[in-house]
Amino acid sequence: MFGFLKKSSSGSIETPSQAAPASEAPVPKPGWALRLKAGLAKTREKFGGQIAGLFGAGRKIDESLYEELETILLSADVGVEATETLLEALRKTVDRQHLQDAAALKSALSDALTSLLTPLEKPLDVGSAKPFIIMLAGVNGAGKTTSIGKLARLFQSEGKSVLLGAGDTFRAAAREQLQVWGERNGVTVISQEKGDSASVIFDAVNAARARGIDIVLADTAGRLPTQLHLMEEIKKVKRVIQKLDDAAPHEVLLVLDGNTGQNMVNQVKAFDDALGVTGLIITKLDGTARGGAIAAIAAKMNPEQPIPVRFIGVGESLDDLKPFIAREFVEALLGE
């Protein structure tokens, strides 16, 4: 059963009626590989389609081909550094394997892109603590609250119990939106009618401890890195969590809107400086032609300790958020 716990202005805990949502008949869906390929259609049309045309059979490998490829990569928001890395890898492959026909370059590009993205592939291990506390942050509209709902479903499918903390106390409808996701997943949502984000998450963690919950998903208000007072507020949330558990939050996930392209790189730096980001969620890849920006993120990362892309989202359904797998992503991107 699910339930929503509201803390009234007097500080008491109120438990509303717990009516189960109407069951819905399951609708068969294609497998994740097909959904990923469909979700990346806009990027693939701009990126993969042009690549296929460039690497047509019979064309020779020359400087003009490299120049055209550079233009395609940059237009797909791959970024200057990643583009240079990929072109250098291709040149080395051509020299090493004595390639002459451009048709052979598609496979080489796939391998080079996979090699660039693989350091970002690191599945999230939630078994190191109980409750395992995941704090989510991001700019307004990135998809934090929706991602929380999808994460709850994903963790439940793995046999984990989940509790949600409605820490977005700035946006008027945020608590109600999270409660809807809680209802859809059948999980408890801890919220307050009045109070700040830190106190909500404090209550959520204590409730999870008392109930033996495996995972706490802590929502926070969307904010821009330039809103210094809000960045200080989110730092406070983290400090409060650490008072309950020195090792917590065990994961700080930054949610990024795939539509923002290379601007994601700036967001990663700003939030990492403030919070120490440990993982990324990239959402809305189905609505953008700028999915190549993941390569730009990879090129900017510290190779010794990159911030991994934990999950990517390519749709609005509950099960349209999955762990990032580099080879799988590249194959969908290039239409292989």
Q: 3-state secondary structure string, 42-92?
A: HHHHHCHHHHHHHCCCCCECCHHHHHHHHHHHHHCCCCHHHHHHHHHHHHH
271 backbone dihedrals φ, ψ, rounded to 5°: -75, -30
Q: What is the pLDDT of residues 143-200, one digit of tens each?
A: 999 999 999 999 999 999 999 999 988 776 788 889 999 999 999 999 987 778 999 9
pLDDT given for residue 26 in this prediction: 52
Q: Which domains does the chain have, with CATH numbers?
A: 1-14+33-336 (3.40.50.300)
Q: Is 257 exposed, middle or buried (0-12, 13-18, 19+ CB in 10 A)?
A: buried
DSSP element (H, E) containing 203: helix 197-211
* 57 or 290, higher pLDDT: 290
Q: Which of 223, 27, 41 is nearest to 136 (CA)?
A: 223
Q: Within 10 Å of residue 171's Cβ, how many Cβ atoms?
A: 14
Q: Percent of the chain, pLDDT > 70?
A: 90
pLDDT in tens, 250-290: 999 999 999 898 899 999 999 999 999 999 999 999 888 78
- Give the H/E segment covering residue 283: strand 279-283
Name the one residue in this structure whose structure tokens are 């009045």.
Answer: 194
Chain-centre distance of CA 247, in angstroms?
A: 22
SS3 call for 140: coil
83-98 pLDDT per residue, tens: 999 999 999 999 999 9
- Tell me the one-letter amino acid at 56: G
